[in-house]
Amino acid sequence: MSGPQAESSSERIQDAARLWHSQDPDPETREELAGLIAAAAQGDPEASEALEDRFGTRLGFGTAGLRGALGAGPNRMNRVLVAQTAAGLADYLRTTLDSPSIVIGYDARKNSSVFARDTAEIMAARGVDTTVLPRELPTPVLAFAVRHLDASAGVMVTASHNPAPDNGYKVYLGGHHGGAQIVAPQDRDIAAAIDNATATPVTDYQRSTDYRIAPESVVDEYIRLTAKRGIPGTSRPKVVYTPLHGVGWETARQVFADAGFDEPLAVPEQQHPDPRFPTTAFPNPEEPGALDLAFAAAKEYGADLVIANDPDADRLAAAIPSHHGWRQLTGNELGIILGWQAATRSEDHPRAQSKREGMLVASIVSSPGLAEIARRFGLNYAETLTGFKWIARVPGITYGFEEALGYLVDPDKIRDKDGISAAVDLLSLVSGLRDRGLTVEQHLNHIATLIGGHASEQVSIRTNSSSQIAALMAGLRSAPPNHVGTDRVQSIDDFIDGHDQFPPSDIIRIFLEGGTRVVVRPSGTEPKLKAYIDTRSSDGTGEERLTKARADASRIAASVHDLLAP
């Protein structure tokens, strides 16, 4: 664009930036923005482009709340945006409830405590009964506190496993929502209230320090109930643990001790919170290299198991020894063994729960193996769209998981994924297996002999824009494949207008002859098209079934990549 129209657009962006600057209470982002405004006014094209990126759009508030890079402007995470969001959420709560209350938590990322305090002051000033957790804590503690304190809502300031420059704002609802994350239509209603709040400069918002700090008893009760799940055997595994520079260690350490397990060896370089995440390029335990320090420590320590939480400790990763070094379990493998644990837990054990009328739940991109477990044990099964905002809301749920390392093992306590509770269940399982002279790999083989061998692969197609993603999905719909590689397509489900019990979603599910399933959907956070491949084999021993399923998954993944590549 050039000429008067471009100049007008640039001027509007600069005017918006100046208005934002005038109400920004953060010296760092004020300085950043002042520099960009001055440079853009002098005709610097890079500064103009940077302002366009920050002010041309706004971080969308949706079912995942907010998440984005720190910086100035409405398309970044900052104190102005958080204040507007807090004001809108407070107004939503006041218009829908007579006496609303909220509990606020935060992790150790840059500005997390600042955003939590801003939220508390604005909530309290707008008449919302406000409680803040006593220090930086894992997301599961906040999700627990919403239920434990019977709060109307909860906010967790975290960007989970995103890169270091990011932060985020996750919202939960209490009452009949049970402490789960928000879904439609509440997300749209809250977003509308936030839009209304932006009409007033944040410098005019009333603030109040009339809020309380939650007592330590809230954290203690989360620890007590989580530790209560532990069933340590006589053989205690040697464990290496990493919180990946996040907030998991302090809480997890106390839970493991109270449950009766030996204290894990914490990876020293990653043991304490550090918002820079200096030893990881990307603090996500799914990413290659993220657990390399843990594997090195495990080799030196002679460990039996490696476990990891992501930085806010709502996800769990695990790795086991193999002939070729340490092998990280896939999210689906861990989901299956924890699902088996949930289905077989003895109801007469003093620390166990009854499995009667159990409901096992998985997202549609997670392994169908959980459905096989439910069938074998005569339990109910449900599948949902991706995200624990859906999984946690299934009535009667006793266990739920999704392949992205998310596990809900204790829904009476919490209605979100919980990496610490899941770690306790895993330690109980491994300890029991060791008492019987068995390994996790042998346990996986045994499960495969009973329900078939299940394997999974993922394919990600990265593009330059969301429009390319839309074009790829449109191409699949306009010219659906008859084959994926040499495998014939048996049927295709398109969720774009809704499917069965699911609301409309940009998802295509392909079934191949032989039982393979391929689910294709856009990523919710990146310009990626993602495909999830799940295979099953019933040929031979459990080990042979898994070997065959893994080979098929790898082969079909290559064909799916060819099918989807632009």
Say yes or no: 105 and 123 in one domain: yes
How far, CA to CA in Å, does 6 sit from each of 3, 47, 48, 300, 456?
Answer: 6, 15, 11, 62, 49
The parent domain of residue 18 ranges over: 1-56
- pLDDT band at 1; cut points 50, 70, 90: very low
- Report the C-alpha gap between 256 and 334 in whole angstroms: 19
pLDDT at 462: 86
Rounded mean pLDDT of 50-78? 93
Say yes or no: 136 and 185 in one domain: yes
Comparing 6 with 105, which gets the higher pLDDT?
A: 105
Say yes or no: 319 and 411 in one domain: yes
On the 0-12 / 13-18 / 19+ scale of CB atoms within 10 A, 446 is: middle
pLDDT at 15: 94
pLDDT at 528: 85
Say yes or no: 416 and 497 in one domain: no
pLDDT at 534: 97
Say yes or no: 436 and 466 in one domain: no
pLDDT in tens, 450-462: 999 999 999 999 8
The contacts of residue 501 (CB under 8 Å, 6+ apart) are none
CATH classification of the domain holding 188: 3.40.120.10
Beta carbons of 459 and 561 less than 8 angstroms apart: yes
Say yes or no: 122 and 172 in one domain: yes
Residue 41 has pLDDT above 70, yes or no: yes
Residue 277 has pLDDT above 60, yes or no: yes
From 162, 194, 214, the end of a domain falls on: 214
Catalytic residues: 160
Residue 313 has pLDDT above 60, yes or no: yes
Residue with tokens 């205690």, as numbered in its chain: 236
From 386, 416, 450, the end of a domain falls on: 450
pLDDT in tens, 172-199: 999 999 999 999 899 999 999 999 999 9
Residue 346 has pLDDT above 50, yes or no: no
Residue 2 has pLDDT above 70, yes or no: no
- pLDDT band at 349; cut points 50, 70, 90: very low
Phi and psi angles of residue 228, each rounded to the nearest 5 degrees, phi first: -60, -25
Residue 475 has pLDDT above 80, yes or no: yes
How far, CA to CA in Å, does 356 sit from each of 178, 353, 447, 561?
Answer: 21, 9, 21, 42
- pLDDT band at 565; cut points 50, 70, 90: confident
- Do β-strands 101-106 and 180-181 pair in parallel, antiparallel, or remain unpaired? unpaired
Say yes or no: 255 and 313 in one domain: yes
- Do β-strands 406-408 and 483-484 pair in parallel, antiparallel, or remain unpaired? unpaired
Say yes or no: 287 and 231 in one domain: yes
Give me the count of residues in the chain: 566
From 199, 214, 229, the end of a domain falls on: 214
- Do β-strands 487-494 and 153-157 pair in parallel, antiparallel, or remain unpaired? unpaired
Rounded mean pLDDT of 213-230? 98
Say yes or no: 274 and 393 in one domain: yes
Q: What is the mean pLDDT of the chain?
A: 94
Domain tally, the chain: 4
pLDDT at 7: 52
Please name the amino acid found at residue 277.
F
Residue 482 has pLDDT above 80, yes or no: yes
CATH classification of the domain holding 541: 3.30.310
Q: E strands along 351-435, which residues?
A: 359-363, 380-384, 397-402, 406-408
pLDDT-wise least confident of 89-103, 313-327, 515-529: 515-529
Say yes or no: 363 and 419 in one domain: yes
- pLDDT band at 525; cut points 50, 70, 90: low
- pLDDT cut 90: percent of the chain above it: 88
Beta carbons of 109 and 94 less than 8 angstroms apart: no
- pLDDT band at 539; cut points 50, 70, 90: very high
Say yes or no: 342 and 230 in one domain: yes
- pLDDT band at 62; cut points 50, 70, 90: confident
Rounded mean pLDDT of 51-69? 90
Say yes or no: 463 and 425 in one domain: no
pLDDT at 179: 97
pLDDT at 11: 87
Residue 348 has pLDDT above 60, yes or no: no
- Do β-strands 212-213 and 129-132 pair in parallel, antiparallel, or remain unpaired? parallel
pLDDT in tens, 99-117: 999 999 999 999 999 999 9
